Structure 1
Amino acid sequence: MIAFVFPGQGSQTLGMGKEILEKYPEYEKYLDIASESISVDLKGIIFGDDEQLLTLTENTQPSLLTISYIMYLYAIEKLNIVPDVVAGHSLGEWTALAGAGVLSFEDAVKLVRLRGKYMSEACPPGVGGMGAIIGLDIEKINEVLKEFENINVANHNSPEQIVISGDKKEVQKALEVMKEKGAKKVVELNVSGPFHSKLVAPAQEKMADELAKIEFKTPKYKVIQNYSAEVEEDPEKIKENLIKQITGTVRWVESIKKMKEIGVEKVYEVGPGKVLTGLVKRIDKTLQPQSILKVK
């Protein structure tokens, strides 16, 4: 069995997707469709020279989804590699669902643009923060977080790397405690908001209203979702998990273990960068993770 994994925010770079679009210019139409659907020149943003413009959450999310979706089409149409299982990291879950036919590409682009906008608006600048903890196990981290009311685990990325999110001052204090408890390294992240924490709950409510207008279909591949770390087939359950994911933990370690459990033997990262390839290697090397861009 083959799995495709789609990256989330942080994997974006200026010029991403260029190698595929130069070789197969027919895929440029998806950039045009995406740009038209949200009235934003994504091509200009991705292939421009203003990194800050690309890094704005409401631009990053549709840009990254579009390029990752183009790479998904390239994988199945040009490389003849078709997944049995799909999953995405945070924003990447939307790309996975578009690829699995749960919702249309256009709807996915429109919704992630709104998702980015709502997430940016949910918490005033400077109030929220995120921090990465390297080399401290999840049990010890959860023990420390019991002392902090407004922080939770945002991403369980690998056994060695866990990200916390919430009130900025509490995150800073918690990182100091984590260091005292034996973490190899702690890093306060340069992010625009406290993603995957209860501080972005207003975005969750607004996205629930938006998703109520969209009909989800049964996926054509097995979908493993961040919120449940389980294979989900019911369109309404998928929708519900997608909403809960905004404030919930990205259970990436459990999601990759679930892939192994159901028989996945090979994982391809479908999107720019190699963040997920590195994470999957740290979770289970036997899954031979590889960027789809490295396939000849």
Structure 2
Amino acid sequence: MNMRNVLSTNRIFFKLSVLKSARLHTVRPTATASVVEKASDSKFAQYTPGTAFLFPGQGAQTVGMAKDVVEEVAAARDLFDQASEILGYDLLKLCVEGPKEKLDSTVISQPAIYVASLAALEKLRQTEGEEAVQAADVTAGLSLGEYTALTFAGALKFEDGVRLVKIRGESMQAAADARPSAMVSVIGLSAEKVEELCEAANKEVGADDGVRIANFLCNGNYAVSGGLPGCEAVERLAKPNFKARMTVRLAVAGAFHTAYMKPAEEKLREALASTEIVVPRIPVVSNVDAQPHSDPEVIKDILARQLTSPVQWEKSMMTMLEKGLQSSYEIGPNKVIAGIVKRIDKKHSVTNIQV
């Protein structure tokens, strides 16, 4: 994305989602990845959500985040100290002082969002008590935020989470550097129309440069990923041929959530194999298939596949809402998720716990 203030994926989605637009018929994404069913993975099959804790992903970071929370909440400061020791650099300093270009990088922003979001959780615990924290009976995170959700649900230790998101960020950056690619946000079209737009763009470029929807965020707001020629074709065709309101080239390293990230998936899978993950205490809704999982090996497989699979955020939220979800807390920097959720259901109650 060519913008004076370089913004990462989800922040752009938030800013554009609050713009007024004509209401579109919601098309539920159907291209959900299948997951092998196992008897050991059925604990949360019939979950009934009441209160959800939702954690943001890459793009929610901003210079200055966490400054106040570490001064007010000792447990939050401890998280940053532990993370810095594992990472080998001062994560808190980068969050508070920047520079912005470094904080926005895939390698730094992923650990930063992970730790800052858990610091926000400690803020909630201190200000409203443990009862408020325990009120959540389901959790989910947008892409990277799924690691935060798993940590909150007790499936992943904090220290292991820091190591995993470090490897995740480094691997995704390396995969992007190895093969030029991009992402484009398409605003003002239904999912069906964006699928048609991708088909039209793919007819103009070679198979290796094709595109597909990578992020199903909310009605009228979908991100397309793929080769540079394919992304350029999307930008060229979107407004005149498909009546999109606009397209925005996203300031990300490359085509996240597509086959371009296959080398990163393989690297992450190796790290996950040696990481302990246990059964979550509450359902954690997956980005890959919009379902919660309880088998640790299935969770590991899903976390690896997440890098090359579309983010099914819209379907995740709609499923929870249809099951009776009453309220949500967005926990972490910025208000990225709140803007998206309000586009899905403007009446849904979302409380922000920011840092």
Structure 2 length-normalised TM: 0.79
Query: Would you say 1:262 and 2:323 are equivalent positions?
Result: yes
How far apart are the structure 2 equivalents of 1:268 and 1:199?
Answer: 33
CA shift at 1:214, angstroms? 1.1
How far apart are the structure 1 equivalents of 2:298 and 2:324?
Answer: 23
Select which of 240, 244, 263 maps to 2:305: 244
Describe how 1:119-268 pairs up with structure 2 within 5 A. Answer: 119-124=172-177, 127-147=180-200, 148=202, 149=207, 150-179=210-239, 180-268=241-329
Select which of 60, 63, 68 maps to 2:109: 60
Task: For residues 35-61 of structure 1, give each alpha carbon's deviation from its aligned partner in whole angstroms, at most 9, with x where no partner exists.
Answer: 111212102211224111111211111
Task: For residues 183-202 of structure 1, give each alpha carbon's deviation from its aligned partner in whole angstroms, at most 9, with x where no partner exists.
Answer: 11111112222111111110
**Uncovered stretches (5+) of structure 2, i.e. residues with no partner:** 1-49
Describe how 1:95-106 pairs up with structure 2 within 5 A. Answer: 95-106=148-159
Conserved? CA contact 2:179–2:260, under 8 Å: no
Moved over 3 A (4+): none
How far apart are the structure 1 equivalents of 2:354 and 2:279?
Answer: 29
Task: Give the corresponding residue for 2:88.
Answer: 39
Task: For residues 106-130 of structure 1, give each alpha carbon's deviation from its aligned partner in whole angstroms, at most 9, with x where no partner exists.
Answer: 1111110110000000133781111
Select which of 156, 163, 186 maps to 1:110: 163
Question: 3-state DSSP class of the match of 1:263?
Answer: coil
Conserved? CA contact 1:87–1:93, under 8 Å: yes
Structure 1 length-normalised TM: 0.95
How far apart are the structure 1 equivalents of 2:275 and 2:179?
Answer: 33
How far apart are the structure 1 equivalents of 2:312 and 2:342?
Answer: 16
Matched residues, number: 294
Query: Would you say 1:6 and 2:59 are equivalent positions?
Result: no
Conserved? CA contact 2:111–2:166, under 8 Å: yes
How far apart are the structure 1 equivalents of 2:335 and 2:179?
Answer: 29
Conserved? CA contact 1:135–1:183, under 8 Å: yes
How far apart are the structure 2 equivalents of 1:120 and 1:184?
Answer: 30
Which has the bigger relative contact order, CA under 8 A and spacing at least 6?
2
Conserved? CA contact 1:266–1:288, under 8 Å: yes
CA shift at 1:217, angstroms? 0.5
Question: 3-state DSSP class of the match of 1:47?
Answer: helix
How far apart are the structure 1 equivalents of 2:108 and 2:304?
Answer: 20
Conserved? CA contact 2:265–2:305, under 8 Å: yes
